[in-house]
Structure 1
Amino acid sequence: MLRVGLTGGIGAGKSVVARRLTERGATVIDADVLAREVVERGTPGLEAVVAEFGAQVLTPDGALDRPALGKIVFADDERRRALNAIVHPLVAGRRQELVARAGANAVVVEDIPLLVENGLTSGFPLVLVVHAPEDTRLRRLVADRGMTETDALARIRAQATDDQRRAAADVWIDNSGDVAATYAVVDRLWERRLRPFAANLRAGTRAPRPAHAIIADPDPTWAEQGRRLVERVRRAAGDRAVRVDHTGSTSVPGLAAKDVVDLQVVVEDLPTAAAVADDLVEAGLVRAPDRWWDVDRDGVERDKAMACNADPGRAVNCHIRQRSSPAWRDGLLLRDWLRAHADAVDEYAALKRELAARPHDSVDVYAQTKTPWINEALARAEEWAERTGWRP
């Protein structure tokens, strides 16, 4: 099963995206619908809301008066938190029931308006954010939902900012234009990413990659992408992870690199490493079945586990190392030394481009030809670490 988080600010048009995903074959679970279900007449949820806010939030026939409740909670952060404390656990429980029913082969899209605000993004291998400018959203809320401009603005401002949502987004969907344009974006997303992502997860197969090294210019979003992936892996690994880090070239600002995010998980031993690699399917990664090892600076091979991306839209190598291996420290040392030495970044980038331009039939060959430079750089980094007191 592939679970996808869908979110966006009020009035951004999540329903347009959700509707198209349903048409393409996704199982869409709408948190707003569930939020209504759990506070219908006669439910324990409605009883709890009335106990907290009083009978003023009921209509004459005993149903929840949503506009009356909205005026209370959207103007007061404390009262909104009180409502969320009642409704969110009930919605989460119902959502889990529906996810379980969807089946192992499903693409389950969970439409959650407050996905970012409630810190739920790391629970999904992929997060889609639907966006429209604030003035467009305001116009829609006034025209389509009959809100006053004051109420609409209050609801918009009570939610996450665009910057916060962008930081959480693996896919940013601009829904400021016409519906046909948004449908076209969703169709491409379904065919090129969601459907193959789900198929790769089912098969336990890494998404295809180029056979040879291709060096990309530095991408300022690599750091944010790495942060999101670290959070997902940390959640899936739980207490078994001593630490989880974004390492490798994409973790160094300004360094040209293959467009692959390297992650490192440190665990106590190899059996734990293998178990964590299996469980990273929850983060959208699949275990690499072959035997993997590090070759340290003394030429000693040390076993590790590996997990890689099932997502065709983001290449990831997750190295899971036991605490006793020196390789995890070397990875962090090289990263931090490069971050502190712009001249070394330029030197390494030039080497990468030169090696990638040579004829080679596999990424492994490219990686092996970098080894002498890396070993020499680690020697320089050790001197820097001793001088500065660096510790991982």
Structure 2
Amino acid sequence: MTGRPPVIGLTGGIGSGKSAAADRFADRGAAVVDSDLIAHQLTAAGGAAIEPIRQAFGNEVITAEGALDRGIMRALAFEQPEARKRLEAILHPMIRAESERQCQTANAPYVMLVVPLLIESGVFRERCQRIVVVDCPESVQVERVKARSGLSDAQVRAIMDAQISRHDRLAAADDIIDNSGDLDALFAQVDRLHECYLRLQSA
């Protein structure tokens, strides 16, 4: 293989099943670059973002172990939109730089770049040769997130409202994975797309 592998952007609303789809693409041989995982690494104890966050928000958003206190930060960001913007100003450049490094060094037929806010982000979107959206009805999203996180219906809806609409996300998709069924149905769709993405190398 010569040159950089093609980059496919994978996105979807909260609870849509992005992680399950990404894991299946990885099993099939794709290099998965996950912006959420990068963000967690940056905000873990000793992560590169901890000191800038401490300077911006104070020790109250840092746990005793030295990691970002996600619960406190989430509440602060929802209460104060300006706080969310300050946090994003710290994290987003770091996430973009690390994801670009991983895309450049990937040794795989193609890269699956997983970004929840891919459609909203011009920088990430421009990197991708294709965009695949994992989709399911909003009612299914709510039930999945409530079951795994313990958040209330209203809290899940608030997170969804902060994301691009389902209609606009689907309108931006080159490929769509319908994840309203079971895992076998999801895997079958991923496997079909995997065969298509393998052909992008020589396109």
TM-score by shorter chain over 0.5: yes
Report deviation, 1:51.
1.9
Q: 1:136 aligns with which of 115, 133, 140?
A: 140
Write the distance in 2 (CA, Å) between the matches of 1:114 and 1:77. 17
Q: In structure 2, do the counterparts of structure 1 residues 141 and 75 end up closer, same or farther at CA, with 3 Å as the change threshold?
A: farther
Q: Could you give the per-residue CA deviations for residues 235-283 of structure 1, whole angstroms, max 9, x where no partner exists?
A: xxxxxxxxxxxxxxxxxxxxxxxxxxxxxxxxxxxxxxxxxxxxxxxxx
Q: In structure 2, do the counterparts of structure 1 residues 15 and 118 end up closer, same or farther at CA, with 3 Å as the change threshold?
A: same
Report deviation, 1:75.
4.2
Tell me what 1:342 maps to: none
1:15 paired with 2:28, answer no
Asked if the contact 2:120/2:164 (under 8 Å) is kept, the reply is: yes
* Structure ranking higher in strand proportion: 1
Higher relative contact order (CA closer than 8 Å, sequence separation 6+): 2
Tell me what 1:196 maps to: 199
Q: 1:106 aligns with which of 99, 106, 109?
A: 109
Give the TM-score normalised by the residue count of structure 1. 0.48
Question: Which letter maps to 1:124?
Answer: C
Q: 2:91 aligns with which of 72, 87, 92?
A: 87
Q: In structure 2, do the counterparts of structure 1 residues 33 and 85 end up closer, same or farther at CA, with 3 Å as the change threshold?
A: same
Write the distance in 2 (CA, Å) between the matches of 1:9 and 1:59. 28
Question: Which letter maps to 2:160?
Answer: I
Write the distance in 2 (CA, Å) between the matches of 1:178 and 1:169. 22
Tell me what 1:145 maps to: 149
Q: 1:126 aligns with which of 120, 124, 130?
A: 130
Tell me what 1:78 maps to: 82
Tell me what 2:190 maps to: 186
Q: Could you give the per-residue CA deviations for residues 73-130 of structure 1, whole angstroms, max 9, x where no partner exists?
A: 1344332222111111111111122122213x53110111111122232321100111
Q: In structure 2, do the counterparts of structure 1 residues 98 and 36 end up closer, same or farther at CA, with 3 Å as the change threshold?
A: same
Tell me what 1:59 maps to: 63
Write the distance in 2 (CA, Å) between the matches of 1:5 and 1:60. 36
1:158 paired with 2:162, answer yes
Asked if the contact 1:74/1:158 (under 8 Å) is kept, the reply is: no
Partner-residue secondary structure (3-state), 1:164 = helix
Write the distance in 1 (CA, Å) between the matches of 2:150 and 2:64. 22
Q: Could you give the per-residue CA deviations for residues 150-181 of structure 1, whole angstroms, max 9, x where no partner exists?
A: 32121111111112212221011111111110
Write the distance in 2 (CA, Å) between the matches of 1:42 and 1:188. 40
Report deviation, 1:182.
0.7
Gaps spanning 5+ residues in structure 1: where?
201-309, 311-392
Asked if the contact 2:6/2:111 (under 8 Å) is kept, the reply is: yes
Write the distance in 2 (CA, Å) between the matches of 1:77 and 1:68. 14
How much is the aligned-residue C-alpha RMSD, in angstroms? 1.5
1:6 paired with 2:10, answer yes
Identity percentage of aligned residues:
37
Report deviation, 1:71.
1.4
Tell me what 1:331 maps to: none
1:33 paired with 2:37, answer yes
Partner-residue secondary structure (3-state), 1:129 = strand
Write the distance in 1 (CA, Å) between the matches of 2:79 and 2:121. 18
Write the distance in 1 (CA, Å) between the matches of 2:183 and 2:78. 29
Partner-residue secondary structure (3-state), 2:49 = helix
Asked if the contact 2:46/2:66 (under 8 Å) is kept, the reply is: no
Q: Which has the larger radius of gyration?
A: 1
Q: In structure 2, do the counterparts of structure 1 residues 98 and 123 end up closer, same or farther at CA, with 3 Å as the change threshold?
A: closer
Asked if the contact 2:9/2:132 (under 8 Å) is kept, the reply is: yes
Write the distance in 2 (CA, Å) between the matches of 1:74 and 1:117. 19
Asked if the contact 1:121/1:168 (under 8 Å) is kept, the reply is: no
Write the distance in 2 (CA, Å) between the matches of 1:107 and 1:64. 32
